[in-house]
Structure 1
Amino acid sequence: MRWLALALLLGLVGAGARAAPPANAFPDVARAYWVEVNGQPVWAGASDERLPMASLAKLMTALLLAESADLDQTLAVSDAAARATGSRIGLRAGERMRASDLFDAMLVRSANDACRALADWHGGDLASFVAMMNARAATLGLHDTRFANACGHDAPGQASSVRDLARLARVAMAQPRIAGTVARTHVGFRSPGGRDFAMDTTNALLLQFDGALGIKTGYTPGAGRCLVALARRGDDEVLVVMLHAPDRWWDTVALLELGFDHARRSRHPSP
């Protein structure tokens, strides 16, 4: 498996890890990838290529909501949200839901119906919300990023780069509401109408990787398997972004471990 090959490279990569520009040391892990160690890019491949991002788009949706929405409000589920495809929690058109519960479902379970309900509510309609997403991307300097919908469905023009997504992830994780939600392994709530909802995270790393903090998974036929992962051990943090990754879980585990090894070696370089 490729992750074993990556692990065997620990010594080689560590020895050359102090080079300033990100090196494409692992070209087979994904169509595009990005690894930061303590905020500094270390390895990357196709870092500025514009690619479909699947549900990683929900990070921008979450950022807008965390920054400017009153998540204590209740909302009526739109018809379009009730018809949303892909991952969903089974919302019904017209039912009342707390925005905070839908926010959790959107990030923990990647629920497209929850995402669309929030976008329609906060933006007034999907087109207006997408315009807000693109305006916020511009203020963040995400030059390779363009949104066509709020939830990450494949669509003409919907694309980002791993460099941009790393930046977006950092800004999103600075929001306590987002950071706290993406770290959750399970969400359960009762709607104002008395329906019970329970869901587990889509992020397997939260249950299996020491130090995992989140943050978002994604998959569509056009984007393939995507992942943004952040982990912390002691004073060290490693951020990995993967787009169109054939084996995102094992390869991300290997890249995270390599990142922590890089941090250790940077503090204690070989003579």
Structure 2
Amino acid sequence: MKIFSPIIFILVLTLCLVHPSAAAAKRHRGHGKAGSGTSYLVLVNGKTFREQDADTRRPPASLTKIMTALIVLERARLDDVVTVSRAAAGETGSRVGLRRGERFRVRDLLAASLIASANDATRALADHVAGSQPAFVQLMNERAQTLGLRDTQFSNVCGHDHKGLYTTARDLVILTERALHIPAFAELVTQRSLCIRTVTGKRSIGFHNVNRLIGRYPGARGVKTGTTPNAGQCLVAVAERDNIRVFLVLLHSRERWQLAPALLDAGFVRTRADNLQMVDRRESDAAAP
């Protein structure tokens, strides 16, 4: 991972933290369309540290798969066998090359969906759980309501650009935190690579995590990337070090792999500085007569 010089680091943070007007944010929120700027939300140990247009509705690209995975994990067993449908085998975009009629375990298709962001695996899971994409999308929107995601709507299971698909950085925090409470999800999103096999064992498929932070950014614990023409570069990331947990949601970015490390670093640096100040104050109070 590229290491920033102090000057470049400061310049990047300055560009990241420029806030557009409240009026512009309101316009984007009302229409559910992506604007030209970046939205982000950074939480440190559960408290908001930095934010920009965190309530602006934007297309989430493959961050959509977080909700897809949550529903699959809540409604199916990891050892269930999934038969790849014609629709799944024909899915476009990011794929791992599933073939119609092949059979895989739910756990393996979830791995392909979350680690490789495979649309064919995601669609196969949706068809298995609900019988069709429209039926699964209905489950997604119902689950969004139960989670209190007021600015989120789904129209497909993979994250393809569509006017009916949008969410916000703030809603994605709620959704991802719920998914991370499920051990299987939390474990999968940390994997650097994996190999899955058909139930018969006749064919295996290997893939690497498309999240460049995993294995490269110290303390990275997932969770998901997404990219489409309308959504831009999107990312949900969690990193933990020294009892500090930094949670980042980044939407509609043009330089995800430069901005994300900078924003995560800022959360760690600021928190450590605040902790040192607290220690100094306590020591001063203790030494006072």
TM normalised by structure 2 equals 0.84
1:120 alignment counterpart: 127
1:173 alignment counterpart: 180
Letter in 1 for 2:167: S
2:201 is the alignment partner of 1:199:
no
RMSD: 2.3
Q: Displacement of 1:192 after TM fit?
A: 1.9
1:258 alignment counterpart: 266
C-alpha distance in structure 2 between counterparts of 1:25 and 1:99, whole Å: 41
Runs of 4 or more consecutive aligned structure 1 residues displaced over 6 Å after TM superposition: none
2:56 is the alignment partner of 1:54:
no
**Is the 8 Å Cα contact of residues 231 and 238 (structure 1) preserved in structure 2?**
yes
Aligned-residue sequence identity (percent) comes to 43
C-alpha distance in structure 2 between counterparts of 1:224 and 1:114, whole Å: 22
Q: Displacement of 1:41 after TM fit?
A: 1.0
2:224 is the alignment partner of 1:216:
yes
Q: Displacement of 1:7 after TM fit?
A: 3.2
After superposition, where does 1:62-141 map in structure 2 within 5 Å? 62-141=69-148
Aligned length: 259
C-alpha distance in structure 1 between counterparts of 2:11 and 2:61, whole Å: 30
**Is the 8 Å Cα contact of residues 183 and 213 (structure 1) preserved in structure 2?**
yes
Larger mean CA deviation between 179-188 and 26-35 belongs to: 26-35
Q: Displacement of 1:266 after TM fit?
A: 2.6
C-alpha distance in structure 2 between counterparts of 1:6 and 1:128, whole Å: 48
- Structure 2 unaligned regions, length at least 5: 21-35, 282-289
Q: Deviations over 1:125-152 (max 9, x none)?
A: 1111111111111111111100001110
Q: Deviations over 1:166-199 (max 9, x none)?
A: 1111111111110000000001022124111100
2:10 alignment counterpart: 8
- Structure 1 unaligned regions, length at least 5: 14-23
C-alpha distance in structure 1 between counterparts of 2:246 and 2:258, whole Å: 15
C-alpha distance in structure 1 between counterparts of 2:179 and 2:37, whole Å: 23
Question: Helix, strand or coil: the match of 1:34?
Answer: strand
**Is the 8 Å Cα contact of residues 30 and 246 (structure 1) preserved in structure 2?**
no
Q: Select the structure with the greater relative contact order (CA < 8 A; seq sep ≥ 6).
A: 1
Q: Which of the pair has more CA radius of gyration?
A: 2
Q: Displacement of 1:267 after TM fit?
A: 1.8
TM normalised by structure 1 equals 0.90
1:16 alignment counterpart: none
